[in-house]
Structures are given as structure tokens and as C-alpha cells.
Amino acid sequence: MKSKLIFIVLLFCSCTNNKFYGHVYDYDTNRPIENVHIDINGIKLQTDSSGYFYLKVRSNSRLKVTLKKNGYSTKKLYRTPDSQGEFSKRNLSNNKIYLFNKESDFSKK
């Protein structure tokens, strides 16, 4: 009986959380950007020295992601999980997010 209860608890925990992650890069140089301020549904975090960020989110939750860094244009993304309730690589374009430097020709369009 205990093993069934433990299995059910583990199954429930695995279904309620999902990993949403990625790397943030400079569009012009293709280098990772550290200390990008990220707001995901009101939860604030920053990228590390390799431009990486990670957050556990509830499965099937829609995400509003805002990325800000001095010298770069603010970027907003909206993500929904796929049919399995996961944020797949396909769903986040291989987990790479590019920011445009404010001096870039692309940020003025």
C-alpha cells in the first residue's frame, strides 16, 4: 500500500511541474548575455554567465515572458505548452532567445 501511495505522489508531482528554460544571446554577435532580467508570469530571475535561465512552472500553464537588459530592446514572448503539457525544444526554437542591441539595425524596425 505504501508503494502505491508513493507512486501516486511521485506521479502527481511530475505532472504538476514542468521545466521552462533557455539561453539568451546577442543577435549580432551570437554571444550569450548574462544578467538579463527575466519576468515569467510575475516571477523574476536572471540569466547566468552563459545566458542560461531555468524555472519550474505548472504544466499546461501559459507563460508571458519579458526579457530586459540595459542596451538591448525589451522582448516579450508568449508560450503555451504542447499537447503533452511540455515546453519542447520545437516550442522554444531550440531554447535560444535573441535580443537586439539598441544600436542594431534590427531594433529600429
Domains of the chain in start order, with CATH, are 18-108 (2.60.40.1120)
Choose the most confident range, by mean pLDDT, from 31-35, 53-57, 87-91, 97-101: 31-35
Instruction: Determine the Cα–Cα distance for residues 44 and 65; give it in Å rounded to an integer.
Output: 10
When pLDDT is averaged across residues 59-82 and rounded to a whole number, the result is 88
Mapping DSSP onto H, E and C, the string for 15-79 reads HHCEEEEEEEEECCCCCECCCCEEEECCEEEECCCCCEEEEEECCCCCEEEEEECCCECCEEEEE
Regarding predicted confidence, which is higher, 9 or 62?
A: 62
The identity of residue 107, as a single letter, is S
- pLDDT for position 94: 58
Instruction: Determine the Cα–Cα distance for residues 17 and 92; give it in Å rounded to an integer.
Output: 18
Could you give the percent of the chain with pLDDT greater than 70? 66
Regarding predicted confidence, which is higher, 70 or 21?
A: 70
